[in-house]
């Protein structure tokens, strides 16, 4: 038998405070009886909280620091029902087709959350599913493809930016500026991290502080020192190519 609704508890694990608050709000709307036992900012905290509090449900962001959602699910999946919260549709589709893991896509809408809650209430009548096989498939995909979405701060709000829409990335103090044709936003990833996650066919590092999307390059000129200067589509500024990366543009 499933436990009374008033006794069902959950842990939320999401590293972005605003997205965590949005998830909490959507859950309160769709499932007011659910008790949010705790919130975690990274995977390690999530594992510790689940061990201590023994919630029936864990909402796990796939992309989290320290330990990601897949690693957390591997440790807690046999003790509670797992719901992945993700902006990456390829994870969600695979997991859902297997029928073992529930998911909700970002941005979390009321409609999406209502469907997840409905499925969860049915699943709570039984034991948590064996996640080993589907987690192995998801883990094999994690990192196998280039980054597709960026979660960025825009003032006091969060914004999901398609990587294809980014003109360039530029390091700025402790943050990296994500520049699109119609504005910019800030993320906490470093240029080095982005270099390892972006598709190298389209994103080239042209300076220690700059990565450019080749699809956003209008043309490449030369300055008085014969150093490449990148002119952009939809942006007035030019990007300087440092001597370290100038050889990339020899044929241009």
Residues 218 and 98 placed together within one structural domain of the fold: no
Domain end point (choices 141, 172, 204)? 141
Average pLDDT, the chain: 84
Tell me the mean pLDDT in the region 235-239: 95
Total-model pTM: 0.57
Tell me, yes or no, whether 158 and 79 share the same domain.
Answer: no
One domain, residues 154 and 29: no
- Find all residues with CB under 8 Å of 93, minimum gap 6, and list them: none
What is the rounded CA–CA span in Å between residue 239 and residue 168?
9
135/155 same-domain check: no
**What was the pLDDT predicted at 133?**
67
Buried b (16+ CB within 10 A) or exposed e, 48-72: ebbeeeebbbbbbbbbbeebbbbbb
Where is the domain boundary, 102, 121, 141? 141
Residues 128 and 161 in one domain: no
Residue finishing a domain among 113, 141, 169: 141
| Percent of the chain with pLDDT strictly greater than 90 | 42
Same domain, 108 and 154: no
Here the CATH number for the domain that contains residue 200 is: 2.40.50.1020
Token code pair at residue 17: 């405070």
Of 142 and 219, more confident: 219
- The answer to whether residues 50 and 22 touch, using CB atoms and an 8 Å cutoff, is no
231 has pLDDT over 80: yes
**Rounded to the nearest 5 degrees, what angle is found at the Cα of 125, between the Cα atoms of 102 and 91?**
10
Looking at the 3D structure of the chain, how many domains does it have? 2
Is the same domain home to 101 and 171? Answer: no
Domain around 112: 5-141
* pLDDT computed for residue 70 by the predictor: 84
Q: Identify whether the C-beta of residue 167 lies closer than 8 Å to the C-beta of residue 214.
A: no
Q: Is the pLDDT of residue 97 over 70?
A: no
Claim to verify: residue 208 and residue 160 sit in the same structural domain: yes
What pLDDT does 118 receive? 93
Q: Are residues 17 and 108 in the same domain?
A: yes
> Residue 3: what pLDDT?
45
61 and 180 in a single domain? The answer is no
**Model confidence at 5, in pLDDT bands (50, 70, 90)?**
very low
Question: Edge-to-edge, what's the strand order for the sheet holding 102-105?
Answer: 35-40, 9-13, 57-61, 81-86, 102-105
- Please indicate, yes or no, whether residues 126 and 177 belong to a single structural domain of this protein: no
Confidence of residue 4 (pLDDT cuts 50, 70, 90): very low
Arithmetic mean of pLDDT, 222-251: 86
> Domain check: are 51 and 136 in the same one?
yes
Beta bridge partners of residue 154, listed in sequence order: 157
User: How confident is the model over 119-176, as pLDDT tens digits?
Assistant: 899 989 888 877 776 676 666 555 556 777 887 877 766 777 889 899 999 999 889 9
- CATH number of the structural domain spanning residue 93: 3.40.50.2300
pLDDT tens-digit readout, 7-25: 799 999 998 887 888 899 9
């Amino acid at each position: 038998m499933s436990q009374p609704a008033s006794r069902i508890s959950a842990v939320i694990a999401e590293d972005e405070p605003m997205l965590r608050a949005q998830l909490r709000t959507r859950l309160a709307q769709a499932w007011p009886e659910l008790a949010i036992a705790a919130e975690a900012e990274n995977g390690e905290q999530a594992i510790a909280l689940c061990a201590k509090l023994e919630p029936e449900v864990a909402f796990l962001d796939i992309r989290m620091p320290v330990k990601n959602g897949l690693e957390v699910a591997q440790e807690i999946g046999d003790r509670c029902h797992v719901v992945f919260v993700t902006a990456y549709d390829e994870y969600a589709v695979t997991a859902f087709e297997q029928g073992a893991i529930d998911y909700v896509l970002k941005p979390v809408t009321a409609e999406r959350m209502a469907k997840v809650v409905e499925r969860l209430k049915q699943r709570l009548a039984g034991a948590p599913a064996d996640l080993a096989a589907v987690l192995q498939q998801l883990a094999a995909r994690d990192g196998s493809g280039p980054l597709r979405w960026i979660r960025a701060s825009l003032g006091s709000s969060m914004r999901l930016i398609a990587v294809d829409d980014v003109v360039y990335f530029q390091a700025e103090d402790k943050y990296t500026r994500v520049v699109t044709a119609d504005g910019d936003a800030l993320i906490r990833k470093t240029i080095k991290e982005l270099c390892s996650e972006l598709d190298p066919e389209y994103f080239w590092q042209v300076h220690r502080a700059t990565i450019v999307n080749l699809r956003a390059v209008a043309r490449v000129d030369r300055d008085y020192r014969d150093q490449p200067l990148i002119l952009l589509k939809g942006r007035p500024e030019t990007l300087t190519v440092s001597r370290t990366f100038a050889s990339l543009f020899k044929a241009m």
